[in-house]
Amino acid sequence: MDFKNAAEVDGVCYQMRLADWPRAQNRARINNLFNGLPPFNEAEAAQNGINVNVNFLEGTVLAHDARAQFYGAFLKPANYFSCHTDMGPKHKRSTYSQVVTGEINKVMKKSTTYFETFRSKFAMDVLHGIGPSGWKDEDKWCPDAIGIEDVGIPANTLLTLENLPFFYIYRSFTAPELIKLTRNKESARRNGWNLDLVDKCIEFVDKDTMALMGTNWPEVWSPEKTQERVKGDGGFYAGDQVPTIDCFDFYFYSDEGKAPGWRRRIILDAWSTPSGTGASLTMTRDNKKDFAKGQFLFNSGNRNYGDDISQLISFQFADLSSVAPFKYHSVRSLGFLVYAICHLQNRLRCRFNESVFEALMNYFRVRSSDEAERALKLDLINRGFIDETVQFIPAAERWQVNTQLVELGIRDNKALIDSNSSSFTQQPQQSTGDRKTKFQVMAEINQTTALVQSAFNQAYQYQEFEYAEIFRRFCKENSNDPDVRRFRSACSAKGVPMELLKPSNWEIQPTRVMGAGNKTMEMAIAEQLIQMRNLFDPEPQREILREVTFAVTGDADMAQRWVPDEPLKVSDSVHDAQLSMGVLMQGLPVAVKTGQNHKEYVMVLMQELAGIIQKYQKGGMAPADKIEGFQMVAQCIEQHLKIMEQDPEQKQFVTEANKQLSKLMNFVKAFAQRLEEQMKKQQAEQGGDPALKAKLQSQVILAQAKAKNSSESHAQKTAQRQIQWEMEQERKQREFEQEQQRKNHETVHEVRRKSLKSVN
């Protein structure tokens, strides 16, 4: 169906709006509860004599906590998402990715409109489970939040939207907005705007505005001056009392033509606000808008307005429904699921407080109006005398509320609210008399993490589609959006080829925070990572340190300043190691300096030693002085490792460094053996020259001595570590035995105490 007739679009939109009316009533009830409105309306309160009619804001606080969880998960990171490419030169891909990610997020983070779009989507997700947003034109990168009531979706539409044939977005244009959209007459007509109908709409707004304001302006100015007057007095025509041009922005999928896609039609809403109560609903035609009957305000014709629905509208779902297949109109939100129990809790608390006020009142038993008047004249503030005819009603004769049952009901309702909202909110751990072990605490945190993570994995997945569309719009050439033009210029200035900025060349990944926005879980994960940090490679260690800093401070900019992507300068330890390498290779010793970063020092020496050995491996031979230098470097490394092994947290690094050093020294031994064989060969060829023989022999002896010393030193250190490990095990065993002995004594004393107690 191509919807070439405006009446067809009008009928389809009208039917979808009628079908959504019962859902809209339910959404209104949820909104009222979470907005803090009292549980009883005025008629119910008057009819039932309700004196306490208050919303105790449990639902409001619950919605706020859930939104805060979303804020932490999506708005807290420094970047909304990261961009990665596998195109272009390999050595520049990382640079391209960093530049594009930084520039696009710089624009997005500064956008207040996008920030408010996120906040609106989060609020609708919590209350109704659906957070729509969309784009008004083909160039603007920033989507606008759309009320769930302004989106018309047919029944039985799946959450994947794969079976969605058409939908509408209800929009309200002011006269200045409509003029701005059609400012370029020729381009607007070519794109599909009905300029004649646009002029009639502006004239309609102008006449109604003048009649509303009680002026005679239409009689003063000529009709052809209408648009100029509206543009000149744009602020006046955007006031609260000025009528708007309400439209159904209708989209449908068409497979006609060479390329199937989504096409667009806009018609005016010729129906007034629905009226009626209960299940009855009536709608009346507004005669003032008969000029729009049967006409499109916008018609894209056979031109596709979008190739995919993600280019038109974006949905963020927070669906808690249990019935599959999951459908759009079957979404069950947090607000929907806890509405009844929150509403019941408010009513129960209202009646409970009425009972409290009733308990504070003084009741008198009277037999006549005279006795009642005498009772009203009593002054019971401090001292006074009362007539003997006035009789107080004691508490035993008054109605007694079952306080235990009421408190049980309030606690039970509170537990139900907390249980149903645990996937979206942070639940405080109730303290008990016994101290919990670290394992118990971690088990509870992991259980909560699983609940929260399952909810936010869904949110991250749907948000990725919106990010992909935003990136596509930033890649668009000749865009009318100034932000897009600035982004492309900045990327070009930093060396990113413009031909590389195509959506198909990039992968978009949403930035995820530890703990899914839950601060308690985030800190627990950060603590675990910092304990395991030394087990990772140097590059991940820096990333872990940045993430932990971010978790502690909650400030992404501060974490980036304190732990940048690359060190801002070469540390003193790295510089000292680089200088000492030349001295050591000459066979001269270097003293160990206090206060050094031994880990960095060892890593630099190991890296340079490996590089020099690899250089001589190509020739298969190293001169005697280089072999002596290799051995001197190894001795220096061993000295630093010996200092580091005193720190229990560095044992893993020391073990790995010793293994790597042992492998490198095997190459050095091979160099010494080849050198010895070469000297023997030269001695045989030169006929056994005594001087040369003595010189060669001394070099061989020196090389063998160095290798032997290195081997003995390594063996000695290994033995020392073994002894140290055995002593540590013995110490732990003694502590364990002492602890067991202490517990046994405590058990014996406890048994004796209980026995004496039972005897007494």
Per residue in 215-273, pLDDT tens?
544 444 444 445 554 555 554 455 555 678 889 999 999 988 778 899 999 999 876 53
pLDDT at 85: 92
CA dihedral sign of residues 365, 368, 374, 376: positive
Q: How far apart are CA 274 and CA 660, in angstroms?
A: 79
pLDDT digit string (tens) for 489-513? 999 998 899 999 999 999 999 988 7
Residues 6+ apart with CB under 8 A from 159: 317, 319, 326, 327, 328, 331
**At residue 472, does pLDDT exceed 50?**
yes
Query: Which residue has tokens 């020391």?
Result: 654
Q: How confident is the model at residue 25 (pLDDT cuts 50, 70, 90)?
A: very high
Which structure tokens are listed for 552? 């502690």
Give mean pLDDT, residues 719-741. Answer: 73
Using DSSP's 3-state secondary structure scheme, residue 252 falls into strand
Contact 50, 44 (CB under 8 A): yes
Q: Which domain holds residue 188?
A: 6-47+112-332
Measured distance CA(336)–CA(222) in Å, rounded: 54
DSSP annotation of 307: S
pLDDT recorded at residue 33? 92
The pLDDT of residue 238: 52
Is the dihedral angle over the CA atoms 728, 732, 737, 739 positive or is it negative? Answer: positive
Q: Cα–Cα distance between 603 and 608 in angstroms, integer?
A: 9
Give the pLDDT of residue 283. Answer: 41
Lowest mean pLDDT among 286-300, 335-349, 386-400, 547-561: 386-400
Task: Let me know if residue 402 belongs to a domain.
Answer: no
280 pLDDT more than 90: no
Instruction: Answer yes or no: is pLDDT of 556 > 90.
Output: no
* pLDDT, position 431: 47
**Mean residue pLDDT across the chain:** 79
Residues ≥6 apart with Cβ < 8 Å to 35: 60
DSSP classification of residue 428: P
> Measured between alpha carbons, how far is 539 from 127 in angstroms, rounded to an integer?
42
User: What pLDDT, in 10s, does the model give residues 304-326?
Assistant: 998 999 999 999 998 888 888 99
Last residue of a domain, one of 286, 303, 332: 332
Query: Average of pLDDT values for 588-593?
Result: 83
Min mean pLDDT across 43-52, 71-80, 514-523, 563-572 is at 563-572
Q: What is the pLDDT of residue 652?
A: 82
Q: Where are the beta strands (DSSP E) in 255-354?
A: 261-268, 298-299, 313-317
Collect all residues with Cβ–Cβ distance below 8 Å to 171 and sequence separation of at least 6: 136, 150, 246, 247, 249, 266
Residue-wise burial string across 190-203, b where 16 or more C-beta atoms lie within 10 A, e elsewhere: ebbbbeebbbbbbb
**Which is it for strands 313-317 and 298-299: parallel, antiparallel or unpaired?**
unpaired
Q: Is 665 exposed, middle or buried (0-12, 13-18, 19+ CB in 10 A)?
A: buried
Question: Would 498 be classed as within a structural domain?
Answer: no
Sequential DSSP letters for 540-592: HHHHHHHHHHHHHH--HHHHHHHS-SS-SS--HHHHHHHHHHHHHHTT---PP
Lowest mean pLDDT among 24-38, 266-280, 320-334, 502-516: 266-280
Pick the residue with more confidence: 187 or 215?
187
DSSP 154-190: -TT-BTT-TT--EEEEEEEE-HHHHHHHTSSHHHHHH
In the predicted model, what is the mean pLDDT of residues 108-133?
93
Which residues are within 8 A (CB) of 383 and not within 5 positions of it... i.e. 6 or more apart? none
Tokens of 662: 């042992």
Helices (H), 295-402: 334-359, 369-376
**CB neighbours of 372 closer than 8 A, spacing ≥ 6?**
364, 366
Is position 40 within any domain?
Answer: yes
> CA 591 → CA 302, 452, 576, distances in Å?
82, 55, 11
Region of 517 (left: φ > 0; alpha: ψ -120 to 50; beta: rest) is left
Alpha-carbon span 174 to 177, nearest angstrom: 5
Q: Is the pLDDT of residue 377 over 70?
A: no
Both tokens assigned to 143: 């989507």
For residue 77, cis peptide bond before it (omega within 30 degrees of 0): no
**Is pLDDT of 274 > 50?**
no
Give the number of other CB atoms < 10 A from CB of residue 282.
8
Instruction: Report the distance separating Cα 566 and Cα 543, nearest Å.
Output: 10
pLDDT at 391 over 70: no
Q: Name the domain count of the chain.
A: 2
150 touches 11 (CB < 8 A): no
pLDDT value at residue 130? 93
SS (H, E, C) 343-370: HHHHHHHHHHHHHHHHHCCCCEECCCHH
Q: Can you give the pLDDT at residue 551?
A: 77
HSE-up (13 A, CA, CB side) for residue 549 = 16
**Contact present, 173 and 164 (Cβ < 8 Å):** no
Q: Identify the pLDDT of residue 558.
A: 78
Alpha helical stretches, state H, 388-532: 403-420, 438-474, 482-493, 519-532
For residues 47 and 448, give the distance between their C-alpha atoms in angstroms, rounded to a whole number: 45
Q: Which residue in 589, 593, 549 sits closest to 571, CA to CA?
A: 593
482 part of a folded domain: no
For residues 640 and 634, give the distance between their C-alpha atoms in angstroms, rounded to a whole number: 10
Are the C-beta atoms of 641 and 653 separated by less than 8 Å? Answer: no
CA atoms of 367 and 389, how far apart (whole Å): 9
Residue 392: strand pairing partners:
364
To the question of pTM greater than 0.75 for the whole model, the response is: no
Q: Sorting pLDDT into bands at 50, 70 and 90, what band is 448?
A: very low
Answer yes or no: is pLDDT of 673 > 90. no
Sign of CA dihedral 685, 691, 693, 695: negative
Highest mean pLDDT pick, 103-107, 626-630, 721-725, 756-760? 103-107
Residue 357 identity (one-letter amino acid): F
What's the DSSP call for residue 271? B
With contact defined as beta carbons under 8 Å apart, do 645 and 602 qualify? Answer: no
Determine how many CB atoms are found less than 10 A away from the CB of residue 284. 10
187 domain-assigned = yes
Q: Which residues contact 279 (CB under 8 A, 6 or more apart)?
A: 22
In a domain, 328, yes or no: yes
Which residue would you say has higher pLDDT here, 90 or 29? 29
Of 291, 317, 332, the residue that ends a domain is 332
Among 123, 175, 107, CA closest to 490: 107
3-state helix, strand, coil in the chain (%, to 5): 60, 10, 30
Q: What whole-number distance in Å separates Cα of residue 592 and Cα of residue 273?
A: 85
Domain final residue, candidates 332, 358, 378: 332
Give the pLDDT confidence score for residue 357 in this predicted structure.
80
